A = this chain, B = another copy of it.
Amino acid sequence: MATKANTRQVYRQSNTGYSKSADTRKAILRAAIVAFGRAGYSAATTRQIADAAGVNQPAINYYFGGKDGLYQACAQEILDNFKGPLEQVSLRALEAIGAGLDRKGAARQLQELLSALAEVMILSEEVSEAAGFVGREMREPGLAYQMLYRNLWAPGIELAAALIAIVKGRAEVEPADRVDAIMMISGISAFAPGHSVSMQVMQWQAAGKDGKALVLERLEAQILGWARTPAPGG
């Protein structure tokens, strides 16, 4: 997959005034998010995606200019439509930080953030396909990496790290807080659908509500551990 700097081309828009193009575009995007998220860029073929969307293969070039354009459009679609729940929680946490937040409050916000993340990554079937796409791009940076890094990953990790620092009794974020944030998020991702090893070890068909609750309980134990430590230089 070419990772050269590519300006994002928009081919067939969804605002042509014609009745069908928006539906067709959406169907292709949905099918593509699933295919790319599960199989990856190389293994997902434009014919498979077209079949799954109920169109034929040249429609992909017509609407998105080709496989590359479709891939990037998937990332944009995810940013536009699927990060809503996380965005709300993030805004609330940022407001609370700005208004001054004590350790207990920060622990509560952090738990809400991680809970929303777990909800997205573990429980929601449709959002979970988008999360699959995002997770894969994270591990195998391609055309959508910069877009997702700037708009999703870096803000999320920094927010979690800021909350962690406050829980620990500090105002400034340190490298250790970022490491903790990354590890927590990575730990949650181990229970997302398709993580066969975790499911097999736990003997779960899927994590489900109970699995999510258990994961969050383990994270809460850690957060409470931090909240109980004496503040540094205090």
Contact = CB atoms under 8 A, between A and B. Distances in A.
Contacts of A185: 190
Nearest to A188: B183
B186 A190 contact: yes
Interface residues of A, number: 46
A69 to B, nearest CB: 19
A218 B45 CA distance: 42
A225 to B, nearest CB: 4
Contacts of A182: 187, 190-191, 197-198, 201-202
A110 to B, nearest CB: 15
B145 A196 contact: yes
Q: A-side binding surface: helix, strand, loop or mixed?
A: helix
A178 B201 CA distance: 8
B43 A180 contact: no
A52 interface: no
A149 B180 CA distance: 27
A158 B201 CA distance: 8
A17 interface: no
A139 interface: yes
Contact of A153 (B43, B154, B180, B197): B197
Nearest to A228: B225
Contact of A218 (B39, B183, B200): B183
A44 to B, nearest CB: 9
A217 B176 contact: yes
B157 A201 contact: yes
A158 B157 CA distance: 30
A179 interface: yes
Contacts of A184: 187
Interface of A: 1, 39-43, 138-141, 145, 149, 153-154, 157-158, 175-176, 178-180, 182-191, 194-198, 200-202, 214-215, 217-218, 221-222, 225
> What 9 A-B pairs come out closest when comparing CB atoms?
A183-B187, A42-B43, A186-B190, A225-B225, A42-B42, A141-B196, A186-B186, A153-B197, A186-B187
